[in-house]
């Protein structure tokens, strides 16, 4: 091989290497956004206009939403995004005072509402594509801890426009400052499925120290804590699950029954000493999907003093419009009373919805249209949820 040929091959090798680096950089830069755009959608349905009276009332409400999965995605809460459903600018536009941000640490391939094995996981690949720290790739606990840190870091970088809420003192200060005119929004960290305990109840304390103040026992599959509504066995609580429930109540962590199997649901209610929530979903009376609540389950949650968060996506309310969302709310009111219904959007949860966080005044308008008083609307849009939070969260 001549010296000239050798140099040519070397230049070709460098060009190929450089091209691969550029392609990989482009992949990791654009792939997360492409993935999210295929999963979190807004379907234009011709939203009703919000009148002046509804807008004025909405601006005075203390709005709280019990479930959004935004921390799963590769974007900052502080910047307005052209994808997904929630970020701080859109929450401010929608007058959202408190948003619960959930950690999704595992999701099965081919996820469905009927039966899922725990053997596969979509979130590992998502984390790698998003260039998350390697310790999150194969540890569900570290995955949730990373998402908790994302919320804390965004709050720290927000110049006090976003705060993490972990106590009733912080909650009360949030609303005191909002009343004085300060632009500030609260974020409360939750986990969607205690498979992230990795079999050790001591990890309840680890997650609590990271800010966890709400937790659901399961997601779309059975785990070492409890059976899922969408699992294979759909069993009740395990010994670990009972120990986790006890520790959560001792520490002031809100118990979330979303996705729990019927057996786990009933067992939690037989043991719980504090109000529980069903953070996001619907009711079978208006949308007959297996994950939604029966009337008996609605009543059982209400008997603890708890709240049911109505979601906005198709499996929760069947039709993507504000009428269907309020229909589900009205059924909860009919069965259990107005004190037990709230918001549980499931924004950014790989869902398709008809509006984002900036547009939730459409619910206020529809409640006004149906004749609810300002006091009743205030309870539905956040008052009921905040009551439960104040009853369960630690004081300091």
**Shared domain check, 240 and 194:** yes
SS3 98: strand
Contact 359, 94 (CB under 8 A): yes
**Shared domain check, 134 and 30:** no
Tens digit of each residue's pLDDT (9 = 90 or more) over 125-183: 999 999 999 999 999 999 999 999 999 999 999 999 999 999 999 999 999 999 999 99
Please give the tally of structural domains in the chain: 2
- Span 317-331, average pLDDT: 97
Whole-structure pTM value: 0.92
- Residue 35 confidence (pLDDT): 73
**Shared domain check, 144 and 5:** no
Residue 23 has pLDDT above 60, yes or no: no
391 burial class (0-12, 13-18, 19+ CB within 10 angstroms)? middle
Maximal CA-CA distance, the chain? 89
By DSSP bridging, strand 41-42 and strand 254-256 are unpaired
**Shared domain check, 336 and 191:** yes
**Shared domain check, 14 and 120:** no
Half-sphere exposure of residue 308, counting CA atoms within 13 Å on the CB side? 32
**Domain range enclosing 171:** 43-392
pLDDT averaged over every residue in the chain: 93
Residue 9 has pLDDT above 90, yes or no: no
CA distance linking residue 89 with residue 95, whole number of Å:
10
**Shared domain check, 326 and 272:** yes
- Residue 45 confidence (pLDDT): 76
Task: Give the confidence band of 32 by pLDDT, cuts at 50, 70, 90.
Answer: low
130 burial class (0-12, 13-18, 19+ CB within 10 angstroms)? middle
SS3 162: strand
Tens digit of each residue's pLDDT (9 = 90 or more) over 198-237: 999 999 999 999 999 999 999 999 999 999 999 999 999 9
Rounded (5°) CA angle 24-27-30: 145
By DSSP bridging, strand 341-343 and strand 185-192 are unpaired
**Shared domain check, 27 and 59:** no
**Shared domain check, 246 and 203:** yes
DSSP-assigned beta bridge partners for residue 189: 101, 212
The closest alpha carbon to 290, from 327, 258, 323, belongs to: 258
Residue 323 has pLDDT above 70, yes or no: yes
Question: What is the chain's Cα-based Rg?
Answer: 22
Residue 10 has pLDDT above 90, yes or no: no
**Shared domain check, 212 and 268:** yes
The closest alpha carbon to 116, from 34, 236, 234, 287, belongs to: 234
DSSP string over 252-279: TPEEE-TTB-HHHHHHHHHH--S--EEE
CA distance linking residue 285 with residue 167, whole number of Å:
36
- Span 316-334, average pLDDT: 97
- Residue 36 confidence (pLDDT): 80
Task: Give the confidence band of 7 by pLDDT, cuts at 50, 70, 90.
Answer: low
CA distance linking residue 378 with residue 279, whole number of Å:
18
- Residue 12 confidence (pLDDT): 55
Contact 66, 276 (CB under 8 A): no
Contact 298, 286 (CB under 8 A): no
CA distance linking residue 188 with residue 103, whole number of Å:
11
Residue 396 has pLDDT above 90, yes or no: yes
**Shared domain check, 311 and 286:** yes
**Shared domain check, 33 and 74:** no
Domain of 101, CATH number, reads 3.20.20.140
**Shared domain check, 127 and 10:** no
SS3 19: helix
């Amino acid at each position: 091989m001549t010296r000239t040929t050798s140099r040519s091959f070397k230049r070709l090798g460098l060009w190929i290497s450089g091209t691969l680096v550029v392609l990989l950089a482009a992949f990791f830069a654009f792939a997360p956004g492409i993935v999210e755009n295929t999963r979190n959608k807004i379907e234009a349905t011709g939203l009703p206009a919000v009148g002046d009276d509804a807008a004025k009332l909405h601006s005075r409400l203390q709005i709280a939403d019990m479930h959004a999965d935004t921390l799963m995605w590769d974007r900052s809460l502080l910047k307005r995004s052209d994808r997904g459903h929630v970020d701080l600018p859109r929450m401010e536009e929608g007058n959202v005072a408190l948003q619960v941000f959930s950690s999704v640490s595992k999701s099965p391939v081919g996820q469905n509402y009927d039966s899922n094995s725990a053997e596969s996981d979509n979130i590992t690949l998502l984390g790698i594509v998003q260039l998350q720290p390697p310790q999150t790739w194969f540890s569900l606990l570290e995955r949730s801890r990373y998402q908790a840190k994302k919320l804390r870091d965004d709050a720290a970088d927000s110049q006090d426009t976003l705060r993490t809420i972990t106590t009733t003192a912080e909650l009360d200060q949030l609303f005191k400052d909002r009343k004085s005119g300060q632009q500030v929004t609260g974020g409360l960290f939750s986990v969607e499925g205690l498979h992230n305990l990795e079999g050790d109840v001591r990890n309840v304390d680890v997650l609590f120290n990271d800010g966890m103040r709400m937790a659901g026992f399961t997601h779309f599959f059975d785990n070492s804590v409890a059976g899922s509504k969408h699992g294979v066995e759909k069993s009740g609580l395990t010994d670990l699950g009972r120990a986790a429930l006890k520790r959560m109540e001792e520490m002031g962590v809100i118990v979330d029954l979303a996705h729990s199997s019927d057996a786990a649901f009933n067992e939690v209610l037989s043991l719980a000493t504090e109000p529980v929530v069903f953070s996001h979903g619907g009711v079978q009376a208006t949308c007959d999907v297996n994950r939604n609540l029966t009337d008996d389950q609605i009543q059982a949650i209400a008997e603890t003093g708890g709240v049911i968060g109505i979601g906005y996506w198709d499996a929760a309310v069947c039709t993507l419009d504000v009428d269907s969302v309020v229909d589900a709310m009205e059924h909860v009111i009919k069965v259990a009373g107005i004190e037990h219904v709230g918001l549980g959007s499931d924004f950014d949860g790989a869902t398709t919805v008809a509006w984002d966080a900036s547009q939730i005044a459409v619910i206020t308008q529809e409640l006004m249209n149906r004749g609810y008083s300002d006091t009743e609307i205030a309870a539905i849009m956040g008052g009921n949820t905040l009551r439960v939070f104040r009853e369960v969260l630690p004081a300091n």
